[in-house]
A and B are shown apart, each in its own frame.
Chain A
Amino acid sequence: MSVADEPKTTGNGFVGRAMRRKEDPRLITGRGRYVDDLTPQGTLWCAFVRSTEAHARIVSIDKSEAEALPGVHAVYTGEDMEALGILDALPMAWVPPEVEVRNAKHWPLARGEVKFVGDPIAVVIGEGRYAMQDAAESVFVDLEPLPVAIDLEAALRDGAPLVHEELGTNRVHDWTLAGGDVEAAMAEADVVVERRIVNHRTAGAPIETRGVVAEPRGVGMTLTSSTQVPHFVRLFLALLLGESEEKVRVIAPEVGGGFGTKLQVCGEEVLLAAAARKLGRPCKWIETRSENMMVTHHGRDQIDYVKMGAKRDGTVTGVHVKILADMGAYLMLLTPTIPSLGAFVMSGCYAFDAVQTDITGVYTNKCPTDAIRGAGRPEATHMIEVTMDQLAHELGMDRVELRRKNFITEFPAETALGIVYDSGDYHGSLDKLLEHFDVEAFEREKADAAKAGKRLGVGYSTYTEICGLAPSRVTGPQGFGLQTGLWESGMVRVHFTGAVTAYTGCSPHGQGQETTFAQIIADRLGVDPANVEIMHGDTGTGPHGLGTYGSRTTAVGGEAIVRATNKVADKAKRIVAHMLEAAPEDIEVEDGKFSVKGSPGKGMTMAEIAGAAFIPDNLPEDMEPGLEETAFYDPSNFVFPFGAHAAIVEVDPETGRVDVRRYVAVDDCGPAINPTIIDGQVHGGVVHSIGQALYEQVHYDEAGQLVTGTFVDYCLPSAADVPSIETDRTETPSPVNQLGVKGIGEAGTIASTAAITNAVIDALRPEGITFINMPLTPVRVWEALNEARETGSAGEARRDGDRRETT
Chain B
Amino acid sequence: MSRVPVSLEVNGTHYEREVEPRTLLVHFLRDDLGLTGTHVGCDTSNCGACTCHLDGDAVKSCTVLAVQADGSAVKTIEGMGTEADLHPLQEAFWAHHGLQCGYCTPGMIMASADLLARNPNPDEAAVREALGGNLCRCTGYHNIVKAVLAAAEATQPREVSA
Contact = CB atoms under 8 A, between A and B. Distances in A.
Interface of A: 20-21, 23-34, 36-37, 39, 129-130, 204-209, 254-257, 259, 286, 288-290, 509-512, 676-677, 679-680, 683-688, 710-712, 716, 718-722, 724-725, 748
A259 B109 contact: no
A129 B31 CA distance: 10
A686 B140 contact: yes
Given A207-B103, A718-B131, A680 B143 contact: yes
Interface stretch (B35-43, B66-74, B154-162): B35-43
B140 A687 contact: yes
A34 B39 contact: yes
Contacts of A722: 140-141
A257 B138 contact: yes
A721 B138 CA distance: 15
Contacts of B117: none
25 contacts: A24-B93, A24-B99, A28-B77, A28-B109, A29-B83, A29-B86, A30-B36, A30-B37, A36-B30, A204-B137, A206-B103, A289-B43, A509-B101, A511-B100, A679-B143, A680-B143, A710-B43, A711-B42, A712-B44, A719-B128, A719-B131, A719-B132, A719-B144, A721-B132, A722-B141
B131 A720 contact: yes
B22 interface: yes
Contacts of A130: 20, 22-23
Given A29-B83, A31-B83, A256-B104, 5 more contacts: A679-B142, A710-B43, A711-B46, A718-B135, A748-B140
Contacts of B129: 720
3 smallest beta-carbon distances between A and B, as pairs: A30-B37, A256-B103, A27-B102
B97 A29 contact: no
A724 B100 contact: no
A45 to B, nearest CB: 11
A587 to B, nearest CB: 36
B100 A680 contact: yes
A289 B41 contact: yes
Contacts of B81: 29
Interface in B64-119: 76-78, 80-83, 86, 90, 93-95, 97, 99-106, 109
Given A680-B139, A722-B140, A722-B141, A209 B41 contact: yes
Q: Give chain B's interface residue range (CB within 8 Å of chain A).
A: 35 or more
Nearest to B94: A24
Given A37-B36, A129-B27, A711-B46, A206 B137 contact: yes
A680 B129 CA distance: 21
Contacts of B77: 28-30
Most buried by B among A28, A209, A290, A721: A28
Contacts of B25: none
Contacts of B152: none
A511 B101 CA distance: 7
B41 A208 contact: yes
Given A28-B109, A29-B86, A39-B31, A683 B142 contact: yes
Contacts of A510: 100-102, 138
B28 to A, nearest CB: 12
B153 interface: no
Nearest to B132: A720
A466 B83 CA distance: 40
Nearest to A256: B103
B43 A290 contact: yes
B136 interface: yes
B97 A21 contact: yes
B52 to A, nearest CB: 10
Nearest to A689: B140
Contact of B97 (A129, A208, A257, A676): A676
B49 interface: yes
B137 A718 contact: no
A448 to B, nearest CB: 21
A286 B30 CA distance: 14
A724 B23 CA distance: 39
B58 interface: no
Contacts of A37: 30, 36
Contacts of B10: none
B59 interface: no
Contact of A716 (B76, B127, B135, B143): B135
A254 B43 CA distance: 21
A608 B13 CA distance: 47
A255 B103 CA distance: 8
A257 B43 contact: no
B61 interface: no
Contact of B133 (A206, A254, A288, A718): A718
A123 to B, nearest CB: 19
A667 B101 CA distance: 22
Nearest to B35: A30
Nearest to B96: A676
B124 interface: yes
Contacts of A685: 140
B104 A207 contact: yes
B102 A23 contact: yes
Contacts of B143: 679-680, 683
B132 A718 contact: yes
A34 B43 contact: no
B100 A710 contact: no
B101 A256 contact: yes
Contacts of A718: 131-135, 141
A37 B78 CA distance: 14
Given A288-B43, A718-B134, A208 B101 contact: yes
B54 interface: no
Contacts of B103: 32, 34, 206-208, 254, 256-257
A333 to B, nearest CB: 21
Nearest to B145: A719
B139 A29 contact: no
B141 A719 contact: yes
Contacts of A257: 100-101, 103, 137-138
Nearest to B77: A30
A259 B47 contact: no
A702 B101 CA distance: 37
A23 B104 CA distance: 15
Contacts of B135: 207, 711, 716, 718
B108 to A, nearest CB: 9
Given A21-B97, A680-B139, A207 B49 contact: yes
A597 to B, nearest CB: 38
A592 to B, nearest CB: 25
A568 B143 CA distance: 37
B17 to A, nearest CB: 15
Nearest to B107: A207
Most buried by A among B49, B109, B124, B141: B141
B26 to A, nearest CB: 11
A289 B42 contact: yes
A100 to B, nearest CB: 37
Contact of A684 (B49, B90, B140): B140
Contacts of A30: 35-38, 76-78, 80, 106
Contact of B94 (A28, A204, A206, A511): A28
Nearest to A683: B140
A34 B37 CA distance: 9
A34 B83 CA distance: 18
Contacts of A710: 42-44, 46
A21 B102 CA distance: 12
A259 B137 contact: yes
B131 A20 contact: no
B39 A256 contact: yes
A28 B47 contact: no
A20 B94 contact: yes
Nearest to B41: A207
